[in-house]
């Protein structure tokens, strides 16, 4: 068992290393931090720019491989390098992970729980009105890109705020800057900011989970063991909750781990539209600002998140399903 886990971890490390290196090479070749300095007004002298860039290990006149080695050496010591204007990448990333977590946690949990419930109920009442309605709604929701959904939510919120004459929904940022009004007021302010992004994340998740759970549930509804449970004397409803839902829940839970991992860097649009300064927004910003080291760091973090999520989903699967547990 230990040897197996070790082999798997080594494989993960190799994958992360190769992926991050590839991303670094690509970013270092394609992005030009030099242009950031050259675009300044007044334009600094070339020697100054060179010195500045070299200090941050961003000078494109240094051979790529040399830059790579210096960067990789730093990463191995736990130093992710500097941004194009000299800030520490580690600090920036650390701050933004917190923001992203605060943003997605509620949306993902809400979306998965509601989606599973909707899907399970739709399956039990297959072809009933609820099933038809939830299927139709899920199809429409799945066809709405996050961009459209998020912007539509903002349009709707602004319209509502205008008509009610009160700022019920706040559409930009995580909290009102410089807000004064005590702890309770501050919390309320944060909630007002959180509602719309959470909805925009959760709606899509509900649609995905409800479709998924409905199919899983349909697969077990006719299973022999449900018949056995009823033959023992359980009522249909009890048999469905105790035996069918418990069994059909396994794939949804493992899927949850996976979604969570991919959203850590994947909530780009939600973050950008609602002005949350999280990882996803940083991803776009770092490319726009030719920030090579940040791009590499985000790649590393994304690779880590995906692999940890897949490991977590495997572990969860093994915990929930005795059939795949190691004997």
Q: Which is nearer to another protein, 85 or 152 (CB)?
A: 152
Residue 144 DSSP SS3? coil
User: Least CB distance from residue 63 to another protein, whole Å?
Assistant: 20
What tokens appear for 1 in the block? Answer: 């068992």
Question: Smaller CB distance to another protein: residue 48 or 284?
Answer: 284
Residue 250: left if φ>0, alpha if ψ -120 to 50, beta else—which one?
Answer: alpha
Residue 70 vs 236, nearer CB to another protein: 236
CB nearer another protein, residue 91 or residue 315: 315
- Work out how close the CB of 271 gets to another protein at its nearest, in angstroms, rounded to a whole number: 12
User: How far is CA 106 from each of CA 50, 79, 154, 269, 292, rounded to the nearest angstrom?
Assistant: 46, 32, 19, 17, 32
CA distance 102 to 174: 9
Q: How far is the CB of 148 from another protein (least distance, A)?
A: 4
281 Cβ contact partners less than 8 Å away, ≥ 6 residues apart: 96, 268, 271, 272
The Cα–Cα gap between 28 and 21 comes to 10
Q: How far apart are CA 68 and CA 260, in angstroms?
A: 31
Q: Which is nearer to another protein, 31 or 80 (CB)?
A: 31
The residue among 46 and 168 lying less far from another protein, judged by its C-beta, is 168
**81 three-state secondary structure:** coil
Cβ 136 to another protein shortest distance, Å = 9
**Gap between the Cα atoms of 149 and 204, Å rounded:** 9
Tell me if residue 127 falls in helix, strand or coil.
coil
């Amino acid at each position: 068992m230990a040897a197996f886990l070790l082999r798997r971890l080594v494989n993960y490390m190799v994958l992360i290393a190769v992926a991050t290196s590839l991303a670094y090479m690509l970013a270092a070749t394609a992005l030009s931090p030099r242009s950031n300095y050259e675009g300044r007004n007044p334009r600094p002298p070339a020697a100054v720019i060179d010195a500045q860039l070299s200090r941050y290990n961003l000078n494109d006149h240094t051979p790529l491989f040399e830059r790579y080695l210096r960067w990789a050496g730093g990463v191995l010591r736990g130093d992710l390098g500097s941004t194009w204007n000299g800030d520490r990448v580690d600090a920036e990333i650390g701050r933004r992970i917190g923001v992203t977590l605060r943003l997605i946690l509620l949306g993902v949990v809400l979306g998965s729980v509601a989606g599973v419930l909707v899907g399970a109920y739709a399956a039990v009442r297959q072809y009933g009105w609820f099933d038809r309605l939830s299927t139709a709604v899920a199809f429409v929701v799945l066809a709405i890109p996050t961009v459209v959904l998020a912007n539509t939510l903002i349009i709707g919120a602004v319209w509502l705020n205008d008509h009610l004459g009160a700022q019920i929904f706040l559409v930009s940022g995580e909290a009102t800057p410089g807000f004064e009004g005590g702890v309770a007021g501050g919390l309320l302010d944060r909630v007002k900011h959180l509602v719309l992004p959470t909805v925009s994340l959760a709606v899509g998740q509900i649609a995905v989970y409800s479709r998924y759970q409905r199919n899983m549930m349909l697969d077990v509804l006719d299973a022999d063991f449900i018949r056995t449970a009823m033959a023992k004397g359980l009522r249909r409803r009890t048999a469905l909750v105790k035996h069918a839902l418990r069994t059909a829940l396994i794939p949804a839970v493992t899927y949850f781990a996976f979604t969570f991992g991919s959203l850590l860097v994947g909530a780009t649009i939600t973050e950008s539209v609602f002005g949350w300064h999280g990882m996803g927004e940083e991803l776009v910003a770092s490319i726009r600002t030719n920030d090579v080291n940040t791009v590499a760091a985000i790649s590393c973090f994304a690779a880590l998140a995906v692999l940890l999520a897949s490991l977590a989903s495997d572990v969860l699967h093994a915990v929930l399903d005795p059939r795949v547990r190691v004997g």
